[in-house]
Structure 1
Amino acid sequence: MRQAKGFREAHFAVCPLVTSNVRSAAEGAGARIIVTLPATSRIPPQTARPSRPGFMNRFANPGQFMRLSSVLLPWLSGAAVLTLTVGIIWGLFYAPADWQQGDTVRIMYVHVPMAWLASLGYFSLAVCGALSLIWRHPLADLAALEIGPVGAVATFICLATGSLWGEPMWGTWWVWDARLTSVLVLFFLYLGHIALIRAFDEPARGYRAAAILAIAGAVDLPIIKFSVQWWNTLHQPDSITLTGAPTMSMTMLAPLFICMAGFSLGFAAVVMARLRAALMETRARQLLSRRHADREAA
């Protein structure tokens, strides 16, 4: 203990021998406790372990996506071409005709995969919208920008082939059936998404509005799926369900599955190629803008 400017100070070293009784006695005597560290004592600093990037953040880096896609894209494209070649030739030339619809049924080898991709593409838009609004994923907006036109083309082909299939079966090119109408609504949702992204001078506002539309419009997907069960529709029920056996023979089902796989691989390859092109265009614009700024500064 020592006197210093009217108050007493008690110096204690940080060690296990300093008990609470000693501290209480010192405080009762009116001393201020000053805790000092002995020269031999060293407290190691808290070193935080570097956090590993999560699954989503791992693919959020444009450079890492470019490296990964440069490896995947040739394989996706080759697999799509090979699978589509086998599926289309098998379905159009070797699969049997339907006993009632005849050769008209061969339209399904394009119509059914396009219907599948129309719904899958819009579901991907909704996922990208959630990633953008909630997690601020840097590639989600750009991915949605490139998925939209491809999904819209798939939906248009689905509607066109459905009309070609419906005319000889129903005697008309179009009916306001629940399944057909809900798919038409999906096509308009695609067009609205494409327009909203480009409707604002500030890209961030366009991406946000399009993301909200994609999430809200996803309610149309279960309507498309269950429309033939909820309403009395002219459209035939689903031939393939998760709960029951397929209603078509394996000689027709096998090429249909192959076509669906081939078109899905092609869809993924086209979207990946468009996204790579968009990233390279964005990078080129950044370099040109930086070069222009450097010239003005000089």
Structure 2
Amino acid sequence: MDSAREPGYRSDVPALHALANPARFLKIARPLTPILFWLGAALTLFGAWAGLTQTPADYLQKETVRILYIHVPAAWLGMGGWSGLALASLGYLIWRHPLANLAARAMAPVGAVFAATCLATGSIWGRPTWGTWWEWDGRLTSMLLLFFIYVAYIALARADAERGGDGRVPALFGVAGSVLLPIIRYSVIWWNTLHQGQSIGLTSSTIDGSMLWPLFFTMSGFTLLFAGIVLMRMRASLAAQKVEARLKRMAA
């Protein structure tokens, strides 16, 4: 598929964005997808095994603390997924390249799954820790809103595609929805909340190193899995578009 023939493609896009060409993208994505997927799966499984069997229980939360090895990466990718979606949407609005729009749509269901996983694991973690499955505090409520925004974006993108839209409305929604990210990030600071504050920073952590190290494996593993699944979805969408275009030519 030659990007110069794609609707909405601008020929004045800088060379920096040459990888946005679908042919170049597929040349890189085909071998990269299985590498990201299987390496991510291996790191995730190792990190989960290490977190379950090779780390001590927390002195206060006991064995329930082990859910952090899933909950924290899920929260990170729920927010990170929307960040990527917003950047791809912004790229589409600026350069009008359909591959950016395709990337945003590919990220949405994957990010929604991680946001839902964050909410589910947080609820399970909260029951023995807080004595309740759910609390309408700032962090939990804003994360739930992010999940709903994911669902709204998916529905909006599907409706836009069905009516033959140009993708600008979902892209604008993707950029606008990013306003929720700093609210989630700083909710534990702005409001009185049951949710604990930031435990891991760029230079320090309140979690003991004997418990912390498997988290880096699950964080890395889930991130690679996210990237691999997004590439897989983008390749599938491009293949479907190619088949559809071929069928149209045959019917003409």
> Do both share a fold (TM > 0.5)?
yes
Higher share of residues assigned strand: 1
Higher share of residues assigned helix: 2
Q: How does 1:134-213 map to 2 (within 5 A)?
A: 134-200=94-160, 201-205=162-166, 207-213=167-173
Q: How does 1:224-263 map to 2 (within 5 A)?
A: 224-242=184-202, 245-263=204-222
Q: CA RMSD in A?
A: 1.4
SS at match of 2:165: helix
Q: How does 1:71-150 map to 2 (within 5 A)?
A: 71-150=31-110
Residue identity in the other structure for 1:250: G
- Measured after TM superposition, the shift of residue 53 of structure 1 is 5.2
Quick one: distance in 1 between partners of 2:13 and 2:168? Answer: 29
CA contact (8 A) 1:91 1:252 kept: yes
Q: Deviations over 1:209-235 (max 9, x none)?
A: 111111111011011111111111110
Quick one: distance in 2 between partners of 1:78 and 1:232? Answer: 41
Question: Does structure 1 residue 265 correspond to structure 2 residue 196?
Answer: no
Please list every run of at least 4 consecutive aligned residues from structure 1 whose deviation after the TM superposition is greater than 6 angstroms. none
Q: Which has the larger radius of gyration?
A: 1
Quick one: distance in 2 between partners of 1:52 and 1:105? Answer: 49
Map of 2:248 onto structure 1: 289
Matched residues, number:
240
Q: Tell me the TM-score normalized by structure 1.
A: 0.78
Map of 1:215 onto structure 2: 175
Residue identity in the other structure for 1:174: W
Q: Tell me the TM-score normalized by structure 2.
A: 0.92
Q: Percent identity?
A: 48
- Measured after TM superposition, the shift of residue 61 of structure 1 is 1.1
Question: Does structure 1 residue 274 correspond to structure 2 residue 230?
Answer: no
Quick one: distance in 2 between partners of 1:164 and 1:78? Answer: 28
Quick one: distance in 1 between partners of 2:105 and 2:94? Answer: 18
